[in-house]
Structure 1
Amino acid sequence: MTAPEKTGTTTSMAGHEQIPPDLYRRRRADRSYRMLGALITGYERLSRYSWRRRPPVVAVNRDLHLVVDEVRQQADEVVSLRLVHPRGHTLPAWQPGAHLDVVLPSGRMRQYSLCGDPTDRHSYRIAVRRLADGDGGSVEVHDTLQAGSGVTVRGPRNAFPFVTTERYLFLAGGIGITPILPMVRTAAARGVDWHFVYAGRSRESMPFLDEIAQLDPHRVWIRPDTHYGIPASGAELLEHAPEGATVYCCGPAPMITGVRLDLPASRAEALHFERFSAPPIVNGTPFHIDLAHSGHSLQVPADRSALSVIREHVPEVAYSCRQGFCGTCKTRVLAGEVEHRDHVLTDTERAENMMICVSRATSQHLKLDL
């Protein structure tokens, strides 16, 4: 009979495996390891039991049904609306720069910056300038919403976050005051170094001047075009920046463009901006899109975005910043190749999705899950 080889497993003459010796040549398993093995086995069994009985995922309804508590004229063609819960419930918290998705009575969804007090958990305030030649949302707000009107909102969401730093320059143009005003108040409350330039066509067109008058006058410059004859250049606005300041800018496209061009020559170090209009399309080419659910077949010209064309036929399509930063208009692509121009999607997300506010097609046709 051949003696067993000296391997890691000792075999008896009956051919059954025995427990191998441990590092200390003991044949009996250590008690702590036996207990650990029992715990692991029990956990695996319990996990299988729990998995079989895990409740199904239930979709969360994030709609807030609010009531217009007050409508106030803030400037020529600008009204503010105070929104409250009909039963006085506390509202979700928000930070400066946040906005609401507001579902209007017609079904249109529009985005409006929160311009009230972030510490007030029982009301939201938005402000809307009437645009007679717009897409109808602002006109609907002015003509149909009044005290007692019900509105559905979603959010708050923030595509323009307010970062913490030691020095700020705030620049607002016209209705661009809405996200900037809570930032200015927050900076003042924190006691940091801040300066604020508020530009507009005329004082009559500039909302919230009465509230701004309560701020430190040595840190605020009101600059209506009617007093100076022309709009301010980027360099003129940036003259008020403290050394190393972070700039927050919201206003019309020419104002933002001027600030971006002149920033390198200024004392400021960083710029955050938000447009209320879509950015200009550069090097655009026309392409065709098919909407799978609505059945629309649409042509997107070289100088327009897919979002703007789709909204003419599907007005309820969700969108927010229109700059490719926030992710609101992410849409699944069913067929075609996309030219991604956004700043939010990961490579994995881009394999199946596009931001219809800024991205375009490299193929002649796209089919979207809309």
Structure 2
Amino acid sequence: MGDANHATDRDRRAELLRQGAEQDGVEIEEYEPRFTPGSRQENRSRRLVVTLWLLCAVFSLVAVGIFVFWPWRYVFPGEEGHFHYSLYTPLLGLFLGLAVACVAAALILHVKLLLPKETAVQERKLPGPSSEEDRATMTAMVLDTAQQVGIGSSRQVGRRSAVGKAMGLGAGVLGTSVGVIGVAGFIENPWDAQGPRADRLETLWHTGWYPHDGEKVYLRVETTDPEEVVLVRPADIAPGGLLAVFPFRESDRGNPRKLRAALNQADNPATLYRFRPEDDIEYRPDRAGMNWGDYYAFSRVCTHVGCAVNLFEDQTNRAYCPCHQSQFDLNRHAKPIFGPAARPLPQLPIDVDDEGFFYALGDFTGPVGPSFWELPAAES
């Protein structure tokens, strides 16, 4: 009884297709299966399309597995694990690319091998709203296409249903994989340094100046030898002078990789200024104790787009960014007074130890570098 009803629906849809073609001025010159139904060629073509969709699902699952389980944290060249780390992005791209390639191949082969060969000629029609009959014939055409693709009624023959299920599986797994990879980066807020993440060093709130394990972080100057350690004393800077400084821990001494990393980390550079005794520096209670006498340290990274703030006008105590001419008034704790920068340069709290060397009391007073939507536009 079910097969008879299915045949009746199919004949009715075929009649609607023919009527719709006639009403639209369409002459169907050719409409026939590419292979004899049930033939070896048709079965082989269906198996090929199904296999491509299944491969799409497999490659998508592998990509998710790589994203979740493959070692992704940076490992320096020459250290154990660097080779596996270097494969993370290539493998992720490879398997996602293979999954997308399987989708493209499956769709192309489906059209070329499984859909009927159809050649139709249609006269140009004047624009206007469609009638109820036109909409009915259009619905019949859509249902016929769905039946040919294999995603229509569950009463369709098994071969077409298998293609539709494989298509749904492959497309569904690929879409889910892309969604997981795209959304996963937002699950853990990289700015969140509160709660269980308070001691994490890799958050964007922390730089190489962040103290941990009770070890002092000294101010170091860069020399021609990146492995040479030269610490800074107050006498190294004349009034109105400055030095570019970087973090140094005694535990890093003799470790070339860590010594170089401290110089190369983008948010580490700071500038140590020595103002003149007569300079009128604005007093802020929340910044009390962050300077050592006339010595102040600020981030060297512009809060506009991250260029180096490496120009200084000692008569006015203004720091300049050469990229887009932002100016920061150091007398007012590096507040921006000109140019596109919207935030002050974060201050580095400093002191001098018993041996006469500068060291950092903590990390910068705010995030280093360009402003984003997570950050306040300005500070008072």
Structure with greater proportional helix content: 2
Structure with greater proportional strand content: 1
Between structure 1 and structure 2, the one with the greater Rg is: 2
- TM (norm. structure 1) is 0.24
- TM (norm. structure 2) is 0.24
